[in-house]
Amino acid sequence: MSYDRIIHVAVGVVINRQQEILISQRHIDSHQGSLWEFPGGKKESQESIEAALQREFVEELGIKPIEFFPFAKILHHYAEKTVLLDVWLITQYRGEEIGREGQVIEWCPITDLRPKNFPIANQAIIKKLQTPRKLAITPNIDKSESIRSLFDRYAEMGIQLVQFQQTHLCENDYLSWFDNAQSIAKNHGLRLLYNQSLRGYKDEWNVGFHANSHVLDLLTERPISDQLLFSASCRNLKELQHAEKLAADFVTLSPICPNAKSWKEQVLGWEKFRDLASQVSLPVYALGGLSENDSDIALESGAFGIAGTFAFTC
């Protein structure tokens, strides 16, 4: 199928501070009628995708997006057509939402989104949206027995996603610690990301994989199943674009603020973060010198969430 026959669709995911998503229900007589969807519509031939997004939201919902950031690009083949969903995260808009085409609309908590109630092409969006907004990165600890107390603190703080990073360990020791960490994580309801050499990763673990910038540079294809989370560490546009090409589920971008590992002249700051994050269709976590108090400014700057080694250990 030639690319010009693909239907290019602008899709908007509107999220509020209560972590609710604005969804609408398709008319019963439309394609895949009665299913819920993320609002949007087909891009016209001479129209930019940003203009299409704004036009569709005005026409469908009576609101105009004013702060929005690329989130994902999803190509899906139905039996009767192929669509490219160009998905944007909308953090601010003007106007009051209403179903201008007679469609039902509602605000739905992210955790309540059910893939079976949406078209198949939308289900990859739900997977990304339901990735937790806080990503804890484990600090180096002196003994494996300390994992339990660390995970206790994460659970108390509502952390659900943990990148298990122990840079001081050799590969064999890391593998041993990771086995122990998995059993503890299950008891705490935590999802772990493996962060070491890919050759030590075991498919039977059924856990996500995080590539540091060195590992990312060596990858030529997505290293694990689409059903699991694959993330990467990025510091510049080249790395962001490479992660996007590899179909990463999300990335971290750092450093945002000065910390013990970065000099002042090395930090990105929020303006540069916004610029870089806006150039790729990926959920981007802000990392480096942040705390939970930075969640609002991170969201306003186009971040999907915040990540940190020490932000979630106090």
44 is in an annotated binding site: no
Q: How far apart are CA 210 and CA 231, in angstroms?
A: 5
38 is in an annotated binding site: yes
Task: Tell me how far the alpha carbon of residue 1 is from its chain's centroid.
Answer: 29
Q: How far apart are CA 286 and CA 272, in angstroms?
A: 11
Q: Determine if the peptide bond prior to 255 is cis (ω within 30°).
A: yes
76 is in an annotated binding site: no
40 is in an annotated binding site: yes
115 is in an annotated binding site: no
Q: Taking Cα atoms as reference points, which of 141, 213, 205 lies closest to residue 173?
A: 141
31 is in an annotated binding site: yes
Taking phi over 0 as left and psi of -120 to 50 as alpha, with beta for the rest, 268 belongs to: alpha
Q: How far apart are CA 188 and CA 257, in angstroms?
A: 30
Q: How far apart are CA 132 and CA 191, in angstroms?
A: 10
122 is in an annotated binding site: yes
Q: How far apart are CA 85 and CA 76, in angstroms?
A: 8
Annotated binding site for 8-oxo-dGTP: 26, 31, 37-40, 122
Annotated binding site for Mg(2+): 40, 60
Annotated binding site: 26, 31, 37-40, 60, 122
